[in-house]
Amino acid sequence: MTTALNTLHVTNSFAELPSGFYTRLDPEGLRDASLLHVNEALGAELGLSPELLHSPEMLAVFSANAPLPGGKTLAAVYSGHQFGVWAGQLGDGRAHLLGAIDTPAGARELQLKGSGFTPYSRMGDGRAVLRSSVREYLCSEAMHGLGIATTRALAIVSSPVPVYRETVETASIVTRVSPSFVRFGSFEHWLGKPDEMSVLLHYVLKQFYPEILQQHAKADDATLAQALLLEVCIRTAEMVADWQTVGFCHGVMNSDNMSILGLTIDYGPFGFMDAFRVNHICNATDTQGRYAWNNQPSMAHWNLYRLASALTTLGAKPDDLTLALETFEPAFLKRYQANLAAKLGLEQWLEGDTVLVDNWWRLLHFDQADFTLSFRALAWAPENPDTFVSLFNDTEKAREWLSSYQQRLTRQQAAPQQRAASMNQANPLYVLRNHIAQQAIDAAGTGDSSVIRDLLRVLAQPYIDHPGLEHYALPPPADTPSVPLSCSS
Ligand code: AMP
Ligand code: MG
């Protein structure tokens, strides 16, 4: 464990790319910043001692007032499609990459979000508000706790510095951690520029997909691009399948918010559903429902087409890229069915299970039943039919579905207790509900990080009971005003 900041082994692989890929610059330090919370568990993975994480030197780094020793601070350029429309150049408009820390699992980049102007800030102010930073901080760790591929969050600092959104809020910075922050949009940026695209391709393969380079020794860029696309299709399909089966809506699945590593990235107006709605939209700005829950798989696929289209720059043939793109659907279905089988306690996915699951979704949708608690209840439902049925408004429909489920379970061997135990490993009790995130935000606004602390405890282990913290598992009371979430964060 490192206790001194200047003994860290920091690398800068992204900064070794040609200068057109980024701008080297200092972030804008946040004045009067205080450490709201630091993630000691992630810190340990990075080899950082608790003393170091809580030190004034580290706070200076987290608040953009000092560089990471040995790091080369930069903002990266990328482009992208936003809401289906080519948006041209975007880039890190309020994020600064500090460098990477070596860990046994590989190098982990540290990136500040909310750390001031960059050449890519466009109309923005380079800042992030406390509200959105708390949400990103908590949700990255909630996803990690659920076993869903995601960037991580190491620290959150708050400050009294005003930030102007719909109202006046205060500035905050989250330190994010990931092997890489390269996006689909990083490739789209070099459409029609084969030299730069080739540099980026080889960088991503060498750093993050070495097995592809090994399998395709001496292959040309077109072949390598196709191999990369295939792998990104599979990872993205599995990530989105995992989103679907916990009721997570990302909210802004623009191609600049899609990670080349298949990680959930850029938490904005995301939401875990309380009441299930098949077409639930979590982003108030998304008036068309482009990123509604039931559209997420096809929107991920659409973004992969944009990535593929960028890769034609390297001479990859559309037919070959299409072959890679066609792996998306089977990869998605395989993961989606495996997740649902685990959630329903089915030992294997049999013909007819699609109908059982579709009818389950239909029951939840028309009843507006709570996504998380309804799945959790399935573990004990077959043995307690009356209690289960009473959870629903349409008890008749619920009873009908339950009997089809009971019927299905007769085709299996496992004892009910064994099935229930395995289902409880697949159906979380705790997800980051919006009204709960709001409680953490409200407390954080008064300098109180205890809700963040308690939430991180339950979200790190969302499949087990946490005595004394049961309230974090509850849906919002009926009279809770819903918090409108938009991209303005
Ligand atoms: P998003 O949809 O939040 O991922 O952001 C899209 C683009 O807008 C990215 O290039 C961001 O860096 C940029 N951006 C978002 N908010 C701000 C801000 N407050 N200041 C500067 N740039 C921003
Ligand atoms: Mg973004």
Residue nearest atom 8 of ligand 1, based on CA coordinates:
93
Do residues 487 and 252 make contact, with C-beta atoms less than 8 angstroms apart?
yes
482: pLDDT strictly greater than 80: no
Per the residue annotation, which of 92, 256, 274, 367 is the catalytic one?
A: 256
483: pLDDT strictly greater than 80: no
The rounded distance, in Å, linking the Cα atoms of 406 and 97 is: 53
The rounded distance, in Å, linking the Cα atoms of 143 and 394 is: 32
Q: Distance of CA 219 to CAs 202, 222, 411, 483, Å?
A: 12, 8, 49, 51
Residues 316 and 357 in one domain: no
How do residues 8-63 score in pLDDT, each as one tens digit?
Answer: 999 999 999 999 999 999 999 999 999 999 999 999 999 999 999 999 999 999 99
Residue nearest atom 14 of ligand 1, based on CA coordinates:
93
Closest to 181 measured CA to CA, from 140, 227, 212: 140
Residue in the structure block whose two tokens are 């040309």 = 220
The rounded distance, in Å, linking the Cα atoms of 323 and 129 is: 43
- Residue 171 CA to ligand 2 centre (angstroms): 18
Do residues 99 and 178 make contact, with C-beta atoms less than 8 angstroms apart?
no
Q: Where are the alpha helices (DSSP H) in 368-427?
A: 371-377, 385-389, 395-409, 416-424
Q: Is residue 480 part of a domain?
A: no
Residue finishing a domain among 291, 321, 338: 338
Closest to 94 measured CA to CA, from 155, 172, 147, 205: 172
- Write down how long the chain is: 489
Strands (E), 150-287: 152-164, 168-178, 248-249, 271-272
The rounded distance, in Å, linking the Cα atoms of 271 and 280 is: 10
How do residues 89-108 score in pLDDT, each as one tens digit?
Answer: 999 999 999 999 999 999 99
How do residues 271-291 score in pLDDT, each as one tens digit?
Answer: 999 999 999 999 999 999 999
Residue nearest atom 11 of ligand 1, based on CA coordinates:
93
Would the CB of 121 count as within 6 Å of ligand 1? yes
Would the CB of 194 count as within 6 Å of ligand 1? no
pLDDT tier, 481 (very low <50, low <70, confident <90, very high otherwise) = confident
User: Domain range holding 103?
Assistant: 5-181
Residues 198 and 302 in one domain: yes
Q: Distance of CA 174 to CAs 16, 92, 135, 158, 189, Å?
A: 25, 14, 10, 9, 26
- Residue 447 CA to ligand 1 centre (angstroms): 26
pLDDT tier, 72 (very low <50, low <70, confident <90, very high otherwise) = very high
219's tokens: 């292959």
- Residue 127 CA to ligand 1 centre (angstroms): 9
How do residues 301-313 score in pLDDT, each as one tens digit?
Answer: 999 999 999 999 9
The rounded distance, in Å, linking the Cα atoms of 418 and 393 is: 30
Residue 386 appears among annotated catalytic residues: no
Instruction: Give the pLDDT score at 484.
Output: 74
317: pLDDT strictly greater than 90: yes
- Residue 90 CA to ligand 1 centre (angstroms): 8
Average predicted confidence (pLDDT) for the chain: 97
Residues 176 and 317 in one domain: no
Counting from 1 in the atom list of ligand 1, the atom nearest the Cα of 487 is 3
Residues 33 and 76 in one domain: yes
The rounded distance, in Å, linking the Cα atoms of 123 and 93 is: 9
Q: Is residue 29 part of a domain?
A: yes
Angle, helix 296-311 to helix 221-244, in steps of 10 degrees: 170
Domain count, the chain: 3
In a 3-state reduction of DSSP, which class is residue 272? strand
Closest to 94 measured CA to CA, from 121, 65, 67: 121
Residues 9 and 157 in one domain: yes
Q: Is residue 373 part of a domain?
A: yes
Q: Is residue 138 part of a domain?
A: yes
- Residue 61 CA to ligand 2 centre (angstroms): 22
Would the CB of 416 count as within 6 Å of ligand 1? no
Would the CB of 37 count as within 6 Å of ligand 1? no
Residues 223 and 312 in one domain: yes
Residue finishing a domain among 297, 319, 338: 338
Q: Is residue 26 part of a domain?
A: yes
Would the CB of 485 count as within 6 Å of ligand 1? no
Best residue among 79, 121, 282 to mutate for probing ligand 1, ranked by most atoms within 8 Å of CB: 121
Q: Is residue 444 part of a domain?
A: no
**Which is higher by pLDDT, 4 or 390?**
390
Would the CB of 94 count as within 6 Å of ligand 1? yes
Residues 194 and 263 in one domain: yes
Percent above pLDDT 70 for the chain = 100
Strand partners, 86: 81
Would the CB of 269 count as within 6 Å of ligand 1? no
Best residue among 28, 74, 81, 90 to mutate for probing ligand 1, ranked by most atoms within 8 Å of CB: 90
Q: Distance of CA 307 to CAs 16, 359, 446, Å?
A: 23, 35, 43
Residues 140 and 207 in one domain: no
How do residues 426-455 score in pLDDT, each as one tens digit?
Answer: 999 999 999 999 999 999 999 999 999 999
Q: Where are the alpha helices (DSSP H) in 245-295?
A: none
Counting from 1 in the atom list of ligand 1, the atom nearest the Cα of 256 is 4
In a 3-state reduction of DSSP, which class is residue 353? helix
Would the CB of 126 count as within 6 Å of ligand 1? yes
Residues 222 and 361 in one domain: no
Residues 78 and 119 in one domain: yes
Residues 292 and 265 in one domain: yes
488: pLDDT strictly greater than 70: no
pLDDT average, residue stretch 167-196: 98
- Residue 196 host element (H or E): helix 194-208
Residue finishing a domain among 152, 181, 210: 181
Amino acid at 234: I
1's tokens: 């464990």
Do residues 22 and 163 make contact, with C-beta atoms less than 8 angstroms apart?
no
pLDDT average, residue stretch 369-389: 98
300: pLDDT strictly greater than 80: yes
- Residue 22 CA to ligand 2 centre (angstroms): 16
Counting from 1 in the atom list of ligand 1, the atom nearest the Cα of 126 is 20
Residues 386 and 271 in one domain: no
Q: Is residue 445 part of a domain?
A: no
Amino acid at 310: A
Q: Distance of CA 12 to CAs 1, 209, 342, Å?
A: 21, 18, 41
The rounded distance, in Å, linking the Cα atoms of 200 and 427 is: 39
The rounded distance, in Å, linking the Cα atoms of 59 and 73 is: 16
Q: Is residue 473 part of a domain?
A: no
Angle, helix 296-311 to helix 328-344, in steps of 10 degrees: 150
Would the CB of 91 count as within 6 Å of ligand 1? yes
Q: Distance of CA 351 to CAs 237, 332, 355, 356, Å?
A: 22, 17, 9, 10
